Amino acid sequence: MNNFIYENSTKVYFGKGCVKEYLSCLVEKYGKRILLAYGGGSIKKNGIYQEVMDILEKAGAEVAEFSGIMANPTYQKVLEGAELARVHQSDWILGIGGGSVMDCCKAVSMAAVSTKDIWENYWEKMGIIDFEPLPLGVIVTVAGTGSECNGGAVITNEERKIKTGRDYPQCNPKFALMDPTYTYSVPVKQMVSGGFDILSHIMETYFSEPDTDNVSDDISEALMRSTIRNLRAAVQNPKDYTARSNLLWASTMAENRITKLGKKCDFECHQMEHQLGAYTDCNHGCGLAVLHPVYYRHIYKDGLAKFVRFAENVWEIPRGDKTDEEMAREGVEALADFIREIGLPATLRELGVTEHTPLKEIADSCNLSPGSYRKMSHEEILEIYQECY
């Protein structure tokens, strides 16, 4: 294992009924003035909003609502939330939703307190947080990003056409309430998108050095097998509690840093997807599903032994007398087949990309990260986009 320091400050309350059981105690602990943040209104349709409001009312909370957080939250929306929190003098923020709500709340928790322009100082580049952000607690309603147990927040600056994620441990939610039954109402299209995001986070970590025997890779393989199995079960029956609870916890496990310990991490696919998102507002998990197989067809020879291991241990492809290259290739194609099987898109056209989308400009706007097995050039990113089209 490479050297690492590990800490995760988020307290997790997991399971059916956890919101009813614990939320009022958390109001006692963090304060009565709450900025209640949520998305486009799904929580009003599925009853979560009413359930939470009843608890908050009984606990004597004074609530200001910050609603309409969009998928791929924007910096403008962050500023709106920060202003509300300041005027209301909120003690803390309670975010109810998925990655978009949680990420937006993390940025709001900083912008409500800091006197600096947080985009310039903390998203455009890494900054040093020399203040206490407002405390944040979250109620997770969709499995996918794992944002509940990390300090990561992905924000889109629409003006600049940049979607970028930064990870500040000070932004880890203080607590996460995770009731798998809250995810039952997620539309199947979003459920598989979030499920693929889980898989993507694990793969982006697994396909990276060091490849010498390490605990992180073994955990990743178990998590990938679990995610694939439970995603299949949840597609069959969206109200399968076992499947939904496993997916919800797998999404946390994939992004609570456990699988990343001692690993370099790749995240090239995320980088390519985020910039596509900045220009087209495409769905995060769906964008990843389109990109991953094509990206892996480009790089599998650079990490051949690991791709062979992926084929054997994740997809259980028999070795027979296949060459390493044939095995590796079959693993990547098994991933592509799975994407089609669960109904995810396989082309950028399905995400709304057209011949007028400036793919070259988008490729050029990708910040070339070191990658793991190979650093991509802007030309190769463009090739990948074109092959995905």
The site for ligand NZQ (CB under 6 A) is made up of 39-43, 46, 71-72, 97-101, 103, 141-142, 144-147, 150, 152-154, 165, 182-183, 185-186, 190, 194, 197, 255, 270, 284-285
Smallest distance from the beta carbon of 304 to ligand NZQ, in angstroms? 26
Smallest distance from the beta carbon of 81 to ligand NZQ, in angstroms? 14
Residue closer to Zn ion by CB (options 134, 191) is 191
Give the CB-nearest residue to ligand NZQ. Answer: 39
Judged by beta carbon distances under 5 to 8 A according to partner kind, the member of Zn ion, ligand NZQ, none in contact with residue 153 is ligand NZQ
Which residue, among 155, 183, 184, 180, has the nearest Cα to 167 in the 3D structure? 155
Judged by beta carbon distances under 5 to 8 A according to partner kind, the member of Zn ion, ligand NZQ, none in contact with residue 152 is ligand NZQ
By CB under 5 A, residue 330 contacts Zn ion? no
Q: Which helix (H) or strand (E) holds 177?
A: strand 175-178
Smallest distance from the beta carbon of 310 to Zn ion, in angstroms? 19
Smallest distance from the beta carbon of 163 to Zn ion, in angstroms? 11
Kindly report the backbone phi and psi dihedral angles of residue 78, in degrees, each rounded to the nearest multiple of 5, phi listed first: -60, -45
Judged by beta carbon distances under 5 to 8 A according to partner kind, the member of ligand NZQ, Zn ion, none in contact with residue 71 is ligand NZQ
Q: Which helix (H) or strand (E) holds 192?
A: helix 188-206
Give the burial string for 221-233 (b: 16+ CB within 10 Å, else e).
bebbebbbebbeb
- Binding mask of the shown chain, residues 166 to 205, with x at each position contacting Zn ion by CB under 5 A: -------------------------------x--------
Q: Residue 5: exposed, middle, or buried by beta-carbon count in 10 A (0-12, 13-18, 19+)? A: exposed
DSSP 303-349: GHHHHHHHHHHTS----TT--HHHHHHHHHHHHHHHHHHTT---SSG
Question: DSSP class of residue 8?
Answer: -
Q: Which helix (H) or strand (E) holds 380?
A: helix 378-388
Smallest distance from the beta carbon of 140 to ligand NZQ, in angstroms? 8
Smallest distance from the beta carbon of 141 to ligand NZQ, in angstroms? 4
Judged by beta carbon distances under 5 to 8 A according to partner kind, the member of ligand NZQ, Zn ion, none in contact with residue 42 is ligand NZQ
The CA distance from 278 to 289, in Å, is 17
Count Cβ atoms below 10 Å from residue 311 Cβ, excluding itself. 26
Residues that bind Zn ion (CB under 5 A): 197
